[in-house]
Amino acid sequence: ETGVTQTPRHLVMGMTNKKSLKCEQHLGHNAMYWYKQSAKKPLELMFVYNFKEQTENNSVPSRFSPECPNSSHLFLHLHTLQPEDSALYLCASSQIGTSLGEQYFGPGTRLTVT
Amino acid sequence: DAKTTQPNSMESNEEEPVHLPCNHSTISGTDYIHWYRQLPSQGPEYVIHGLTSNVNNRMASLAIAEDRKSSTLILHRATLRDAAVYYCIPIPVRDDKIIFGKGTRLHILP
């Protein structure tokens, strides 16, 4: 058990759909992250939230819209995606402010855009 | 960000030690060396980290070269469950970003 849960685990959506990915951390951390892992590519950092404030947007297209209503929950709203957006989307959390905030990852949501 | 070089893949026999190398010749003096691994169909998990001294925990050992330009992750007795992609990542102290490379895919032979 990692303490970070993600739902759904699998999602298939058309290019005109709107869907949301949900992440919840049960570790009392103050920072949360979204990563994208495409086939045969390294994990890419998408967004960083510290204390509910977005501190990093790694040039992510606007069809991906993050939301962090509190320090335990993180959403990724998806709309008008492209087939190349099919990937594993991973959420992570950490405790910022300690000397080393190792990140704890969820199991990911496998997204397929048709 | 410090660049790292790791072998694309390695093989090891079950129940034998495994030494996973990483070169990070451009590492900054304040960067900690972190190792994460990603098992099949799972998110990455933290393995170990260190600054200058060798480190041990229940999962692995980390040997850091005296000049800090390389490090080695040591799995003392590999099991089939250790088959994963292992990432070596220098991270500045108090930085909240992890930049993953391609890592080393470790295959364990029964």
> How large is the average pLDDT for residues A1-6?
82
**What is the model's pLDDT at position A98?**
62
Chain B CB contacts of A48 under 8 Å are 96-97
List CB contacts (< 8 A) between B41 and chain A.
107
Is the bond leading into A8 cis (omega within 30 degrees of zero)? yes
pLDDT band of A52, cuts 50, 70, 90: confident
Distance CA B28, CA A97 (A): 20
A105/B43 touch (CB, cutoff 8 Å), yes or no: yes
pLDDT digits 0-9 by tens, A84-113: 999 999 999 998 766 566 899 999 999 999
The per-residue pLDDT for range B4-13, each reduced to its tens digit, is 999 999 999 9
Give yes or no for A27 touching B (CB within 8 A).
Answer: no
Nearest residue on chain A to B85, alpha-carbon basis: A42
Taking CA atoms, what residue in B is nearest to A108? B43
CA distance A89 to A43: 9
- Rounded Cα gap, residues B48 and A111, in angstroms: 30
Least CB-CB distance to B46: which of A45, A91, A102? A102
Give residues with Cβ within 8 angstroms of B89, minimum separation 6.
Answer: B4, B33, B34, B35, B36, B98, B99, B100, B101
Question: How far is residue B83's CA from residue B105's CA, in Å, rounded to a whole number?
Answer: 8
**Non-local CB neighbours of A1 within 8 Å, separated by 6+ positions:** none
CA angle A107, A68, A46 (to 5 degrees): 60
- Separation between Cα atoms, residue A6 and residue A20, nearest integer Å: 11
Please check whether residue B10 is in contact with residue B66, taking contact to mean a CB–CB distance below 8 angstroms: no
A29, B88, B93 from B47: Cα distances, Å: 19, 10, 17
Q: What is the pLDDT of residues B42-98, one digit of tens each?
A: 999 999 999 998 999 999 999 999 999 999 999 999 999 999 999 999 988 767 778
pLDDT of residue A21: 98
